[in-house]
Structure 1
Amino acid sequence: MKFTVLIPVLAAAAFNSQAFTLTSNDIQEGSRMADTFAFQGFGCTGENLSPQLSWKDAPKSTKSFAITAYDPDAPTGSGWWHWVALDIPSSTNSVKQGASGHLKQVREMENDYGAIGFGGACPPKGHGMHRYQFTVWALPSEKLALPENPSNALIGYMLNANALDKATLTATYVSE
């Protein structure tokens, strides 16, 4: 008898659960990003603006968020980190276009160009299409525990080890 009562309760819980999602007014899943979001330098002539991002349905126990932008197709053997923003307050559910460098109470880390904040898309000419994975991470603490001057690989490891959930939007870019 307990079994028949339990099934509807579990089914209702699964039916009502919402997935943590990430959307953008500026970039779309699987589509080429505009030059607005390309790097200015390294042979690229973009505007180097971070895209608008919005997220919803984070786990209830979320205490902070992080945003990363990562290119797994970079010819480095380890990808390329375009943006790492940490300790975003849990009351935040979006960032505006060009927000990098203007985010209050947020710790923006050095990208793989060697600058703090967002560094736009810039695959090597002739290298073909690259994917840019924009991920928002829901975290269980207000600050991610990291040593002084951590590498982006260590940050990525700590995000994966600590995340309650994550939502990713993958856009593309080709240098012409």
Structure 2
Amino acid sequence: MSLDRAEAPDPYDLLPPVPSFTVTSADLQDGRPLDELFAHPSAGGKNVSPQLAWSGFPDETRGFVVTCFDPDAPTGSGFWHWVLVNLPATVTELPRGVDPLPGGAFCVRNDYGERNYGGSAPPPGDRPHRYVFAVHAIDVDKLDVGPDATPAYVGFNLAFHTLARATIRPIFQS
């Protein structure tokens, strides 16, 4: 049974606009269902992070942050599935199931309370949820955040350091 509520806004529509660049994936497509491989075990998945590659970002890019957010989660504040910070500017691709993380990058806790990728797991029978995978090109080598930062605090810091952003938005329904 679908929860009766309005669709949440896209999170990046609420922030000041920034230029975009290109993100591609062998595993994800805009508006297409995620494979269960990338879903959370509670939804029958394997919790594997998808492959992502990006190009066309600004020349002055000094680092990247990769995030995955579900604005449709029935929480009032969405659900953070992945917040990977401080990727070096030389990293322009993450393989499927990335481990270890390259170049001193780390994950802050997602909304499952874990410091890794946490796959999709909307409530059973709910409408399809959107998963906004974003690569943020930043103007600093590293955001001034540690592994105990919250996703909201990372987002706050991104607001001041994002040069450009690339997104891909698959969907998933349990």
TM over 0.5: yes
Letter in 2 for 1:130: H
Q: Give 2:81's aligned residue.
A: 82
**Separation of aligned partners in 2, 1:86 and 1:160:** 14
> Does the 8 Å CA contact 2:65/2:138 hold for their aligned counterparts?
yes
Runs of 4+ deviating beyond 6 Å: none
Aligned-residue sequence identity (percent) comes to 39
Change beyond 3 A, Cα 1:148–1:115: closer
Instruction: Assess if the C-alpha contact under 8 Å between 2:108 and 2:146 holds in 1.
Output: no
Deviation for aligned residue 1:19 = 5.2
Matched residues in 2 for 1:165 and 1:19: separation? Answer: 5
- CA distance in structure 2 between the partners assigned to 1:147 and 1:22 by the alignment: 26
Displacement of 1:149 after TM fit? 2.1
Letter in 2 for 1:52: Q
Please give the alpha-carbon distance, in whole angstroms, between the structure 1 residues aligned to 2:67 and 2:134. 5
TM-score (normalizing by structure 2): 0.85
1:20 aligns with 2:18: no
Task: Please report the RMSD computed on the Cα atoms of aligned residues, expressed in angstroms.
Answer: 1.4
The CA distance in 2 between the partners of 1:20 and 1:63, in whole Å, is: 15
Q: What does residue range 24-39 of structure 1 map to in structure 2 within 5 Å?
A: 24-39=25-40
Give me the whole-angstrom Cα distance separating, in 2, the residues matched to 1:47 and 1:147: 27
- Look up the match of 1:102: 100
CA contact (8 A) 2:47 2:117 kept: yes
Distance 1:165 1:29 in 2: 19
TM-score (norm 1): 0.84
The residue aligned with 2:71 is 72
Find the counterpart in structure 2 of residue 7 from structure 1.
none
Higher relative helix content: 1
- The CA deviation string for residues 103-129 of structure 1, in whole angstroms up to 9 with x for no partner, is 132111111001111000000112110
> CA distance change for structure 1 residues 147 and 36 in 2, over 3 Å: closer, same or farther?
closer
Q: Which runs of 5+ in 1 are unaligned?
A: 1-17
Separation in structure 2 between the aligned mates of residue 143 and residue 39 of structure 1, nearest angstrom: 29
How big is the shift at 1:145? 1.4
The residue identity in structure 1 corresponding to 2:97 is G
Farther off after superposition, 151-160 or 73-82: 151-160
Aligned to 1:12: none
Relative contact order, higher structure (CA 8 A, sep 6+) = 2
